[in-house]
Amino acid sequence: MKHVVLILFLLITLTGKAQTNPIHLIPQPVDVKPLTGKFLLTKTTVISYTQPQSRSVAEMLAEKLSTPTGYGFKARQGRVTSGKTAAPGSIELSLNTTPSAQLGNEGYTLEVSPRAVKLSANQPAGLYYGMQTLLQLFPKEMASKTLAQSTWSAPCVQITDYPRFGWRGVMLDVSRHFFPKEDVKRFIDEIAQLKYNTFHWHLTDDQGWRIEIKSLPKLTQVGAWRVPRVGKFGQLEAPRPGEAPTDGGFYTQDDIREIVRYAQERNVTIVPEIDVPGHSMAAIAAYPELSCTRDTSTKVNPGSNFAEWFGNGTFKMFIDNTLNPSDENVYVFLDKVFTEVAQLFPNSYIHAGGDECYKGYWEKDPGCQALMQKMNMKNVEELQGYFMKRVEQILKRKGKKLIGWDEILEGGIAPEATVMSWRGIKGGIEAAHLGHNVVMTPSQYVYIDLMQGDPTLDPPIYSTVRLKTSYNFEPVPEGIDPKFILGGQANLWTEAINTISHAEYMTYPRAWALADVYWSPKDSKNWAAFVPRMETQFGRADQAGINYARSAYDPMVTTVLKGDKLVATLDAEIPDLDIFYTIDDSVPGQYSPKYSTPIEIPEGPVTLRVITYRAGKPIGRMLTLKRDELKKRVK
């Protein structure tokens, strides 16, 4: 009898664990109801779709399930149900005959039972996002791109899910460093798996023009290439006379079409950016007559310094990188560019930049001054307003809408423009008050090219955006009508990033956190609950060969002066980590002093060393800071 009781106890315990096993998904769905049991994927599992519009998603699911399992699934059309009962071992994708208002165009319902999986949505996009959720329910080995070994089961669950925002984006800058076509497709595929639906493609800047414009061949013959340099961007040597520009590349129009199709298959809209009137050095190197100075010695910038920044947001350019707003030939040029861009990208938006436009050369140019006098302009900011309004009219003639960085508010915003607010949320608030749509992308939350860890551990950049900071971002400011906030996006500028591996390191896990921000309900946000979901995603990324940062485990050190005493406070983003430290030149570990209260740093040649542990094992990188460095951190 005792043995029977013990067996029953073990069965109840194990069953309970199975029922309470956490379901870790990114982004967090709207509603998740765990059920008892699991669905087992086998060689005999049937994948079916009920309408022709669902075929592409079903075939993609079959391929993704086949790659790691080796089962060779094929999707087939037709129901595998008898009445309301699904056939054993089946996965069925269906579009709702009566659309659900709750689900909208991108929502879905997913029911996993021991017998079958049923995924339904109003539109194929919803099926696609439901497929991504289903794939995350299987073991991490399901993310492998080669044959893997696992028990291919998914926990039983009922999920109802739909996005909070319609614009969920990630920007990739390919001007500062060129990324080959296959890298761009890889990046799009990765963000699509996280239910991002917008890929903002920064195609032109001072460091390279990356899109073929057939009517203006020098844009890529000249503008796509610069002299090779290695080192810290902004401190590199300028081009030498006669030096060959061999570093760079561009996308042909066939490349663009291929990437657009690839994105469309993954429900990702590509928003191309042609950055004007500033950030145009690559275009001016090809066609110097477009600038006020008409300097024929202008070269594509290789990462050398050509500006002085004054710390208050103002700056001075040493080289003219700005189009001439008073020259009608500039608008003829832009009409040619946007004609071909509009034909390549089927979405409604074209991003026209508008940021960091230096107007010093405009102030000295007779043509600009004559235009200002003719138009009764009070300042050169109004020249940019005039320019952007002209751009908007060009785009409207192509059937496109203008979106630009928040500087387009200065000098008078174009009537129907959408604003991308990057200098904080102030520009977005102003635009919304004026009745303009806004994409919130403030640098202090979503610039994922900025440091995510301590500057002594990661390559130092001018500022930091911690993972937890990104997770805590709220796109809708208080007092703003949410109808004007289309959503938000993460921005990856690549001055210091020249490989897809490094791009991934900077993107993840911050893009995982922001996936929650843009998709999940506002009231579902819970940092402590996000951490285990992130850690599950680490395992999936390992299987998929995706690079990511573990900076959130690293210790954080801040200092203050209390009188003449230097005091250090230690912390970590991840909750419940143990922090150990030393100031005696020994290596810290679990037998060193454990941090509990702020530490007074003695005078003299002292070095503070700090490391984080979890469950008796080191988990973060060791931080080593001399006393002089600690003093510099005093706030």
Residue 95 CA from chain centroid, whole number: 30
Q: What is the signed CA dihedral for 569, 574, 577, 582, rounded to 10 degrees?
A: -40
- The three-point CA angle 383-385-495 to 5° equals 95
Whose structure tokens read 């560019």? 337
Please count the other Cβ atoms lying within 10 Å of the Cβ belonging to residue 342.
Answer: 18
The DSSP bridge partners found for residue 112 are 117, 157
- Please say whether the dihedral angle defined by the alpha carbons of residues 189, 193, 194 and 198, taken in this order, is positive or negative: positive
First to last CA, the chain: 68
From 190, 273, 356, 504, the catalytic residue: 356
Is residue 172 within 8 Å of 187, Cβ to Cβ?
yes
SS3 of residue 145 by DSSP: coil
Tokens of 490: 């993460």
Q: State which amino acid sits at residue 248.
A: G
Q: Are 497 and 177 in contact (CB under 8 A)?
A: yes
Rounded Cα distance, 388 and 337, in Å: 15
Q: Examine the residue annotation and report whether 356 is marked as an active-site residue of this protein.
A: yes
DSSP string, 372-425: HHHTT-SSTHHHHHHHHHHHHHHHHHTT-EEEEEGGGGTT---TT-EEEE-SSS
Q: Which two tokens stand for residue 180?
A: 């080959």
What is the sign, positive or negative, of the torsion defined by CA atoms of 528, 531, 536, 537?
positive
Residues taking part in catalysis: 356
